[in-house]
Every structure is written in structure tokens, then in C-alpha cells.
Structure 1
Amino acid sequence: MRLLLDSFWRAAAYCLHPRVIALSILPLVLMAVLALGLGYFFWESTIAWTRAWLSGWPWFGTVMGWLQGWGLGEVQTLIAPLLVVALVTPVVVVLSLLLVASLVTPSVVSLVGERRFPHLDKRRGGSFAGSLFGALWATVVALAVLVLSIPLWLVPPLVLVLPPLIWGWLTYRVMSYDVLAEHASKPERVALMREHRVMLLVLGVLTGYLGAAPALVWAWGALAIVLAPVLVPLAIWLYTLVFAFSALWFTHYALAALQAMRMAEAADVRAVEPPASAPATELLVEQGPAGSPSSTSAYVPLPPP
């Protein structure tokens, strides 16, 4: 628990680092670039195709006739652009978040490693292929368990426990691999995930609850629709910031645990090593036959090594 709390406040402090702030703003920049690029090259042709597609539906002409009868004929020119924006915006948002998510964890691990663990050896027990396969496998398992557990959600207490527990397990599996891939060997990663399974699962559940926090910006009811141009960028920034905080929390916890494990192993090795034999500092010199001046044995000191 001490390690969990220590890594929590360190992760919160690192959120103020310029690199983390830049990563949290990056999705907004990517969204603007993608939107401008798509609009410049495809806006006119997409709007024309959408209007032609809508005109092919009989009900669309009927609705437009009603609107013209009510003096709202100008709405017809706005429907196609609004429909295009409504369909393209989620795609742009998801692409931006996925790109940033692929950059956040490596950048966060590098930042924490450079600033807090500069002398921690990098044994590179993970790979991109291993991370991708592990993430896909864990996601399939989590989704399957989530679907199978839906009937249990009818029990009021379980609906507040089961989904966060399942997503927490998924976060723990994926994040633990990613933050240890660079510094830990495979046996070290397996040992750490087994030894700290409970605390890592708690960490995953807590970050899962934090991931739901940005959705609160939509709790304003109908006012959220009016403020959508402001709330959408705010929600995206909060999602990215929470993701960066989660990666920082896992990184601080896992690398501190890895360092402690290596220090304990080194202490055990020193404890079982036999003491080194003392160097000889004296030489026994045999003298001549008995009765002669050289009949005694003398120890002649040697200079220290």
C-alpha cells in the first residue's frame, strides 16, 4: 500500500511536466490537422455525394417539403454538412486518441526512467509484437467475461463491481507489460506481476474509474449540445490526461518494485557468497640441518599486496 500511495503522488506531480502536458494536448492538434486536411481535399465532393445520397430517399423529399412549407427551406442546405461532420468527428477523435495512446506509454516510461531510475538496467524482456498480442488476448478475454457477466448486472451491487473489476484486470495486464517491457527481463516481469498481482489489479480498477470521469462533462443535459464545440475538446483532453496519469502511476509503481526486487536479489547473493580467502602476508622459510645456524624456521613478513 505504501508503494501504491507513493507512486500515486509521484504520478500526479509528473502530470505537470511539460512533456506530459504536450502529450495531453497532442490529440487536439492532431484533430485540427486531420480536420483541416480532410476538409481541404474532400469537403466539397463529400457534401455533394451526401446530398445526392439523401435525395435518393423518398422520405427525405417529404421532410424537406414540410420544412419549406414552414418557412425553413434553408435547413436543407445544412443537413448534408451537419451529417458529414457528425459522422467524421468520431472517426477523427478515435484515430487521434489511438495515435497518442501508442506514444504516451513509451514516452512516459522513458521520462520516469531518465529522471527517477537512471541507473536501472534495461534488460528488454518485452517487444512490440508481445505487447500487441498480449493486449489483443487480454481484450478478447475481458470482452467475453463482460458479455457472460451481463445477467449478473441485474443484481444492483454487482453492476457497480463487475465491469470495473473486468476493465481493471484488462488495464493491469496491458499496462504492466508495456511499462516493464523495456527495463525488466521476462522472468522478472512474470515474477513482479505474480508478486504484486493484487496491488496492480487495485491500480487498474482505480484508473478504470478515473477513465469514466471525463464523461461527466456531458452531464449538463440539453446544455451539453449547445456547448458541444467546447465540451468535445475538453473531454478529449481529459481522456488523454487521465490515460497519461494512469501510465505514470503504473510506471512509477512497476519500476520501483523492479528496483526493490533487484536490490533484494543482490543482497541475497552477497549473503550466500563465501568470504574471500585472506592473502598470505608471511612466508615460512626453512633453514638448514638441526644444530646449524639455519636450523630454525623463521617467518619472514611479506609486504602487503
Structure 2
Amino acid sequence: MSATEIISYHAPAEPGFAKIGQAFRRAVVSQLHPRMLLALLLPFFIALLGAIILLWLFWSPLTLWIDQFISAWGPLDALDQWLLAVGWFSLKLWMLPVLVPVMAAGLLLPMAGILGLVIAAIFVMPIVLRHLERHNYPGLKRQGRHVTVLGTWNAIWVGTLFCLGWLLTMPLWLLPPFALVLPVFWWAFAVNRMLRVDALIEHASPPERRLLWRRNSRLLWLLAGCLSLLNLIPLFWLVMPVFSALAYAHFCLDALRELRAQTLIDPQEFSHAS
């Protein structure tokens, strides 16, 4: 069949929330497979080792810097002086012993977490894709190009941008709305920009990837936002790298299979036609 003789197949489109719910359900089932449970170990140990090294090297200088920064922060200093003037209490005296270690942990632990996500994207995602290809998406042809280079470069630059963005926006945590909004935003950014690439680069051709990202941009961000909110749950971060990879892989591979079914042509022919 030539590229101009595409027969469209108008399958009923599922609502966006249904597709995300389906990806989550399938990710839960896949996560319970022994192979996927074993895959949890690598990013977990990398993140744990990273956290230990970061805390050991940077805890003391970082807490000292945060303490000096907050103590010299104009609005807080003015409020503290006013409270003392009216005979109440020193806000710094009560707040700094709690706030400084919380901010230091909030700065260092995500650095270890993003390292775990990078490891999952580079080394675990290929294992995830092979597992899903065998059990959930048999016959889905691989059309990716420059897979290793593309995936590694994407994971590194997204991880670097995440760290820089997290560091630069950290002072905004002192303003109540940003303390919740910024962590969710940066994790959603990292998860989406990293895993949407790794979930498709092995199976989708470059034109297919661009088309799927454009069609599903909002849903992919919504999926990343849901995973980022789950990451606020204390124990979820233990499984987040692999579970997120599974959720993205299910969503993206299902979308790719649907795209190819709608055109009813060979994926290689679609790639050449594009």
C-alpha cells in the first residue's frame, strides 16, 4: 500500500482521563511482576547512595548558608524586629531551628531523587520496554533511531535543568503557595520531559514521536502532574522512578499502537512517507 492510499480507521477515542487511568492501572499490574519489582533496586540504591553522599558532603555548609540567608532576609528581619518591639517573641528564634534543616533536606534529597530518575530513564526504561513488548504490546515494531545517544543526552540535560531550576527557585519556598506548587511543577517537568522521550525512542520513528507528543501534550503533562503529586506521599518515592517509567511506557506505546492502527500501513512506510 502506498503512502497516498492510507485507509483511516475511526476507532472511538477514549477520553483523556480514561487513558491516564488505564495507564495507571496497567502500570500497577506490571509493577507487581517479579522482574519489575527487581528493577526497583537499581534507581533506589543509586538515589540512596546519592542522598548519603550529598548529606555527608554538603549538610553543614548548606545549613549554615541557609541560616545566614534567612537571618538577613529583609521582610523576615523586619517582622522579627516588630514582634520583639511589641513584646512578643523572636520569630527567628522559633522558626530557624526547624526551617533550616527542612530547607536543606528539601534541597539535597531531590538531587538524589532526580539521579534515581535519570538512572531509571537510561538503564531501567529499556528493561521496562522489553518487558511490556513481550507481555502487552507484541508485534509493535521498533522504528527508533539513535536510541542510546538520544535517551542519554535527554536524561542528562533534563536532570541538569531540574537541578538548576530547583536551586534558583528555592527562595520562593518561603512564600506559602510556592512551597507546594514548585516541587510539583519541577518533578512534573522532569518526569514528562525525560520519560516521554524514553518511552517512545525505541519503537516510534521521529515523525511518529513528534505527532504523538503534539497530540498528547496536555495528557502527558497531566500524567506527569499526577505522578508528581503521588511523589509527595513519603513512601511512593521509593517506587516512583520505575512506576513512572511503566505508566509512561503504557500510555505512549498504547498511543503509538493506536496511531498505527488508525492508518493501517506499515510503520516503516509511514516513516518514509513523513
Q: Same fold (TM over 0.5)?
A: yes
1:255 equivalent in structure 2: 253
Deviation at 1:151, TM superposition (A): 4.4
1:12 equivalent in structure 2: 28
Deviation at 1:21, TM superposition (A): 1.8
Across the two proteins, how many residue pairs are aligned to each other?
Answer: 185
Change in CA separation of 1:112 and 1:187 when aligned onto 2, cut-off 3 Å: same
* Structure 2 letter corresponding to 1:114: R
Deviation at 1:15, TM superposition (A): 1.4
* Structure 2 letter corresponding to 1:248: L
Deviation at 1:145, TM superposition (A): 3.2
Percentage of matched positions with identical amino acids: 30
CA distance in 2, matches of 1:239, 1:200: 20
RCO comparison, higher one (Cα < 8 Å, 6+): 2
Change in CA separation of 1:153 and 1:29 when aligned onto 2, cut-off 3 Å: closer
1:21 equivalent in structure 2: 37
Q: Tell me the secondary structure at the aligned position of residue 161 of structure 1.
A: helix
Deviation at 1:176, TM superposition (A): 0.9
Contact 1:146 1:166 in 2 (8 A): yes
**What 5-or-longer segments of structure 1 have no aligned partner?**
35-89, 218-237, 268-305
CA distance in 2, matches of 1:194, 1:169: 16
Change in CA separation of 1:107 and 1:139 when aligned onto 2, cut-off 3 Å: same
Deviation at 1:185, TM superposition (A): 0.7
Residue 178 of structure 2, aligned match among 158, 171, 174: 158
CA distance in 2, matches of 1:98, 1:142: 11
Q: Which runs of 4+ in 1 moved over 4 A?
A: 25-30, 96-100
Deviation at 1:99, TM superposition (A): 9.7
RMSD: 3.2
Normalising by structure 1, what TM-score?
Answer: 0.53
Q: Tell me the secondary structure at the aligned position of residue 263 of structure 1.
A: helix
Normalising by structure 2, what TM-score?
Answer: 0.58
Range with bigger deviation, 198-207 or 107-116: 198-207
Change in CA separation of 1:239 and 1:178 when aligned onto 2, cut-off 3 Å: same
Contact 2:140 2:257 in 1 (8 A): yes
5 Å-filtered alignment, 1:163-242, equals: 163-213=183-233, 216=234, 239-242=237-240
CA distance in 2, matches of 1:156, 1:29: 33
Kindly name which structure, 1 or 2, has the bigger radius of gyration based on alpha carbons.
1
Change in CA separation of 1:22 and 1:151 when aligned onto 2, cut-off 3 Å: closer
Deviation at 1:126, TM superposition (A): 4.5
CA distance in 2, matches of 1:12, 1:137: 29
5 Å-filtered alignment, 1:91-110, equals: 101=120, 102-110=122-130
